[in-house]
C-alpha cells in the first residue's frame, strides 16, 4: 500500500492539540457549575459516566480516519511490459545418405540432428525460424515462422531419401538466403549442418558465403561425424540390415571458410553430446533482445477508510443524544 499525498499525515498532529484544548475548555465550563437533573433525563453515573466521557475518542478516531483518507491510500500491483526483437534463423539440414551413419547414439546422425534442433527451437519461442533441407538439391521444408508447433511437425517429417543423394552445400545456403533476405529484422543467421563436402549444385559454397556476407547474414557451420571409420547400415539380401564401417569425410576447410566469411563460427560435432553443446553455444551467442518496462497499477482504497470514519461520527452523535446523554 502507498499514499498519493503522504505529507497530509502531518495533519494528524492536530489531534492531540485539539484534544488538549477540548479538555481544558470542558473543565472551565463545568467548574463550579451545579445543576439539577430535570425530569426525563437520567443522571449518568458509574460506568455510563466513564463511557460518556470517552465519546470524544470516537470523534478523534473519526477525524484521524478522515485525515488518512485525504492522503489517498492505494494498493499497487507491479507489472512488466516486455518487448522482444526476435532473431531470424534458417536451419539448413543435410539429409544425404551419409546421415544414416550410426555414430551419434542412440540413432543415426539425422536422428540426433533432428532431436537437438527440436530442443533449440523449443528454447527460442520469440524467434522466426525456418527449415531448409538438402542433399543433391535443396528445398524449403518450412518457411520462417513463429508457429513453432508447425515447424516441429515438419521437422519430424524429414526423411533421408526425400531428395536424390548428394551434398549441395552452396544450394542450401542460397535457399536459406532467399528465405531471410526479404524478412524485416536486424539479426539474421543460418545454422548449416552437414557431414560431407559439396559435390553438386549450381551454386558453390564460397560464392554463397559472399552473398550472405553482403546481406549481413551470419552462417554458423557444423561438421557432423566422428573422425575415422564409422558404423553404417547396409541392406542385406534377407531384407534386413547389416552394419559395416565406412569412412565419411567432412570438408572442414570449406565449412570454416564459410563461417569466417560471414562472421559466424565453425564447430565439429563428433557425437550427440557435442552437438547439444554446439547448439547451446549458438543459442548463447544469439540471444533474443528483450526490453522490459516496469509499471504499477494502483487501486484507490480511500472509501474503505471513509465509511468507518462516518460510522464513528454517527455512533458518537446517536450515543450522546440517547443513552449516554448528559448535561454539561
Grid coordinates belonging to 12: 494528524
Report yes or no: 285 and 278 within 8 Å, Cβ to Cβ. Answer: no
41-97 pLDDT, tens digit per residue, is 454 455 555 555 566 666 667 676 777 677 777 776 666 555 556 799 999 999 999
Which residue, chain included where needed, has cell 527460442? 124
- For the chain, give the mean pLDDT: 82
> Which residue, 311, 314, 309, is CA-closest to 73?
309
Instruction: Using a cut of 0.85, tell me whether the model's pTM lies above it.
Output: no
- Report the alpha-carbon distance of residue 258 to residue 218 in Å, rounded: 9
3-state helix, strand, coil in the chain (%, to 5): 45, 25, 30
- Report the alpha-carbon distance of residue 259 to residue 94 in Å, rounded: 17
- Report the alpha-carbon distance of residue 88 to residue 217 in Å, rounded: 10
SS3 for 20-49, per residue? HHHHHHHHHHHCCCCCCCCCCCCCCCCHHH
Domains of the chain from N-terminus onward: 2-77+297-321 (no CATH), 87-287 (3.40.50.410)
Q: Point out the residues of the chain with pLDDT beneath 70.
A: 1-5, 7-9, 11-12, 15, 17-60, 62, 64, 68, 76-85, 288-299, 301-307, 309, 312-313, 315-328
Cα 168 to its chain centre, rounded Å, is 38
Amino acid at each position: 500500500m502507498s499514499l498519493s499525498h503522504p505529507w497530509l499525515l502531518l495533519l494528524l498532529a492536530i489531534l492531540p492539540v485539539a484534544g488538549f484544548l477540548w479538555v481544558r475548555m470542558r473543565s472551565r465550563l463545568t467548574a463550579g457549575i451545579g445543576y439539577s437533573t430535570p425530569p426525563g433525563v437520567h443522571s449518568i453515573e458509574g460506568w455510563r459516566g466513564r463511557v460518556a466521557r470517552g465519546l470524544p475518542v470516537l470523534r478523534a478516531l473519526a477525524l484521524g480516519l478522515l485525515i488518512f483518507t485525504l492522503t489517498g491510500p492505494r494498493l499497487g500491483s507491479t507489472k512488466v511490459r516486455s518487448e522482444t526483437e526476435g532473431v531470424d534463423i534458417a536451419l539448413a539440414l543435410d539429409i544425404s545418405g551419409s546421415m544414416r551413419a550410426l555414430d551419434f547414439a542412440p540413432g543415426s546422425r539425422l536422428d540426433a540432428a533432428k532431436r537437438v534442433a527440436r530442443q533449440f527451437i523449443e528454447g527460442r519461442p520469440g524467434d522466426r525460424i525456418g527449415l531448409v533441407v538438402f542433399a543433391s538439391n535443396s528445398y524449403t521444408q518450412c518457411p520462417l515462422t513463429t508457429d513453432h508447433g508447425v515447424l516441429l511437425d515438419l521437422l519430424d517429417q524429414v526423411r533421408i531419401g526425400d531428395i536424390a543423394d548428394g551434398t549441395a552445400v552452396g544450394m542450401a545456403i542460397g535457399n536459406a538466403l532467399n528465405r531471410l533476405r526479404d524478412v524485416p529484422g536486424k539479426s539474421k543467421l543460418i545454422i548449416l549442418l552437414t557431414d560431407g563436402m559439396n559435390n553438386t549444385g549450381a551454386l558453390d559454397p564460397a560464392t554463397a558465403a559472399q552473398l550472405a556476407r553482403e546481406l549481413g547474414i551470419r552462417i554458423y557451420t557444423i561438421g557432423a561425424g566422428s573422425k575415422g571409420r564409422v558404423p553404417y547400415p547396409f541392406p542385406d539380401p534377407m531384407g534386413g540390415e547389416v552394419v559395416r564401417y565406412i569412412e565419411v569425410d567432412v570438408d572442414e576447410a570449406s565449412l570454416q571458410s564459410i563461417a569466417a566469411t560471414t562472421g559466424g563460427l565453425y564447430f565439429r560435432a563428433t557425437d550427440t553430446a557435442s552437438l547439444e553443446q554446439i547448439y547451446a553455444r549458438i543459442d548463447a551467442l544469439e540471444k533474443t533482445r528483450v526490453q522490459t518496462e516496469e509499471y504499477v497499477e494502483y487501486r484507490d482504497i480511500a472509501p474503505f477508510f471513509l465509511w468507518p470514519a462516518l460510522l464513528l461520527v454517527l455512533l458518537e452523535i446517536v450515543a450522546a443524544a440517547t443513552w449516554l446523554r448528559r448535561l454539561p
